[in-house]
């Protein structure tokens, strides 16, 4: 079957974007992706929008974005799987090209979150858990991941210091990323002095809501080779699910959806975790990145804390992880996060990441989690 290549990527600045509507955010990223690919919009056969509609006043968001981008009457549709909506859109476009239905598809991940108050956002995110048995009793997003952290600490001796190592690393690289919400380094002392959120988390353990968009243009193998000098190939595309209820899961020290998706993506791409040079993983909370190291096979179960403390996930370590700042420093406009991850890996594999460039990066990975691990999408990207 034909390979699917990435021929263009675009990214807007993440932050409190009071200067732009969600359509305008999408346009910024789409315009830059077209310029990057060297094509005009007439070449695009279809679009897929990744976004979570509850955050917007506009229903059926894909339609207004399609119109604003000047792509009517070509087909468009919306994908939604909570925080993994952008990667779900990527997979949907990949399948459309694999099937032969389309040759070139634009994927736009976008979200306008800061028009809602923090309590409203917390209420929405809390309902990602099972409404009947969990969220009705006051569970919050930080509360769920705090349970994971406490259990990981109990079983493996993971420490607060190791959680803070994740935050310090990601803010270090976020300070070098022009698209990031937070562009300042932090110290462990500053992080440990921040306000409590949900034990053991403090403010710097948690990612921030943001507005933003990123766009990725996919093409069939023949078209990708015609258009792009350096096509980046999506050779592993896998996703998996876990129970909506966290309490029905056999363990709270990892995400079974991530383990399964990673195994399938590695097998499809014909690689193992040791082949990955650079990865963008879903660090909505510091423990989430540590669990991702283990779920993806970068280190053994229970060794994620020492792995980051020993700087194995910095550039120059065993595998560079979240060297764009991750959700932690870059911000988390939930529909845009998956496409933003792909943007970063494409830039790394092309050798275009500037100060954050990982040497000899030829294989990269993204790991995008929806909800509290109910969904996980893993992509393996390669450069010829």
Name the residues annotated as catalytic: 83, 332
- Taking the C-alpha atoms of residue 217 and residue 107, their distance in angstroms, rounded to an integer, is 6
> Where do the H-state alpha helices sit in the chain?
22-37, 61-68, 85-98, 118-126, 141-156, 160-174, 188-192, 221-227, 256-269, 286-295, 304-309, 326-330, 337-350
Radius of gyration of the chain (CA): 19
Q: With contact defined as beta carbons under 8 Å apart, do 177 and 356 qualify?
A: yes
Q: Can you tell me the distance from the alpha carbon of 250 to that of 243, in angstroms, rounded to the nearest whole number? A: 10
* Ramachandran quadrant class, 7 (left: phi over 0; alpha: psi -120 to 50; beta: rest): alpha
Q: Which residues contact 135 (CB under 8 A, 6 or more apart)?
A: 126, 127, 128, 129
Phi, psi of 181 (to 5 degrees): -65, -50
Residue among 40, 8, 48, 30 nearest 231 (CA): 8
Cβ 319 vs Cβ 313: under 8 Å: yes
Cα–Cα distance for residue pair 313/273, rounded to 1 Å: 13
238 sits in which H/E element: strand 232-241
Dihedral (CA of 243, 245, 248, 252) sign = positive
| Sequence-separated (6 or more) residues with CB below 8 Å from residue 199 | 146, 150
As given in the structure block, the two tokens for residue 31 are 């315009």
Contact in structure between 377 and 239 (CB atoms under 8 Å): yes
Of the candidates 283, 288, 294, 238, the one whose C-alpha atom is nearest the C-alpha of residue 263 is 238
Please count the other Cβ atoms lying within 10 Å of the Cβ belonging to residue 124. Answer: 17
């Amino acid at each position: 079957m034909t390979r699917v290549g990435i021929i263009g990527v675009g990214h807007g600045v993440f932050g409190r974007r009071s200067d732009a509507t969600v359509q305008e955010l999408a346009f910024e990223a789409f315009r830059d992706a077209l310029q990057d690919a060297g094509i005009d919009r007439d070449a695009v056969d279809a679009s897929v929008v990744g976004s979570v509609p509850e955050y917007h006043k506009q229903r059926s968001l894909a339609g207004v974005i399609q119109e604003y981008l000047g792509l009517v009457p070509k087909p468009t549709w919306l994908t939604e799987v909570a925080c993994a909506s952008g990667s779900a859109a990527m997979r949907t476009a990949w399948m459309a090209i694999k099937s032969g239905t389309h040759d070139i598809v634009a994927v736009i991940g976008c979200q306008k979150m800061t028009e809602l108050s923090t309590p409203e956002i917390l209420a929405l995110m809390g309902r990602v858990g099972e409404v009947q048995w969990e969220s009705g009793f006051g569970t919050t997003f930080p509360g769920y991941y705090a349970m994971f952290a406490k259990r990981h600490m109990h079983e493996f001796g993971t420490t607060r210091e190791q959680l803070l190592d994740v935050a310090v690393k990601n803010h270090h690289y976020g300070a070098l990323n022009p698209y990031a919400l937070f562009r300042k380094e932090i110290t462990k002392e500053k992080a440990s002095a921040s306000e409590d959120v949900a034990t053991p988390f403090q403010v710097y353990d948690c990612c921030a809501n943001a507005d933003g968009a990123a766009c990725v243009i996919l093409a069939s193998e023949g078209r990708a080779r015609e258009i792009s000098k350096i096509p980046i190939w999506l050779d592993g595309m896998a996703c998996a699910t876990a129970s909506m209820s966290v309490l029905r899961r056999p363990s709270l020290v990892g995400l079974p959806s991530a383990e399964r998706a990673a195994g399938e993506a590695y097998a499809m791409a014909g690689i193992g975790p040791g082949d990955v040079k650079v990865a963008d993983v879903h660090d909505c909370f510091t423990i989430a990145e540590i669990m991702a190291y283990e779920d993806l096979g970068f280190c053994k179960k229970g060794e994620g804390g020492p792995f980051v403390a020993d700087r194995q996930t910095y550039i120059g370590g065993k595998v560079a992880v979240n060297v764009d700042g991750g959700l932690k420093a870059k911000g988390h406009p939930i529909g845009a996060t998956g496409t933003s991850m792909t943007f970063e890996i494409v830039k790394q594999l092309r050798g275009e990441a500037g100060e954050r460039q990982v040497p000899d990066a030829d294989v990269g990975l993204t790991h995008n989690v929806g909800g509290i691990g109910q969904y996980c999408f893993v992509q393996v990207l390669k450069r010829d």
